[in-house]
Amino acid sequence: MSDPANLQQVLDRISQSALGHRRVTFGDIIDTVGSRSFGPVLMTIGILLLSPISGIPGVPTLSGLLILFISAQILILNEGFWLPAWILERPLPSDKLLKGIRFLEPAAHFIDARLHARLTPVVRGPGSYLLGSVCMVIACAMPLMEIIPFSATAAGFALAVFGLAMISLDGLLALLGLMFTAAIATLILVNVL
For 1-35, write each residue's pLDDT tens digit. Answer: 677 878 888 889 888 888 888 888 888 888 888 76
Which stretches of the chain score pLDDT less than 70? Answer: 1, 35-37, 77-80
Q: What is the DSSP string of the chain?
A: -PPP-SHHHHHHHHHHHHTT-SEEEHHHHHHHH-SS-HHHHHHHHHHHHHSGGGGSTTHHHHHHHHHHHHHHHHHHHSS-----HHHHT-EEEHHHHHHHHHHHHHHHHHHHHH---BSGGGTSTHHHHHHHHHHHHHHHHHHHHTTSTTHHHHHHHHHHHHHHHHHHTBHHHHHHHHHHHHHHHHHHHHHH-
What is the pTM (predicted TM-score) of this model? 0.83
Residue 27, domain member (yes or no): yes
Residue 2, domain member (yes or no): no
pLDDT of residue 84: 82
Q: Which residues contact 88 (CB under 8 A, 6 or more apart)?
A: 25, 26, 27, 30
Based on its alpha-carbon atoms, the radius of gyration of the chain, rounded to whole angstroms, reads 15
| Residue 139: HSE in the Cβ half-sphere, 13 Å Cα cutoff | 19
Which structural domain, as residue segments, surrounds residue 152? 7-192
Residue 157, domain member (yes or no): yes
Residue 1, domain member (yes or no): no
Domain total of the chain: 1
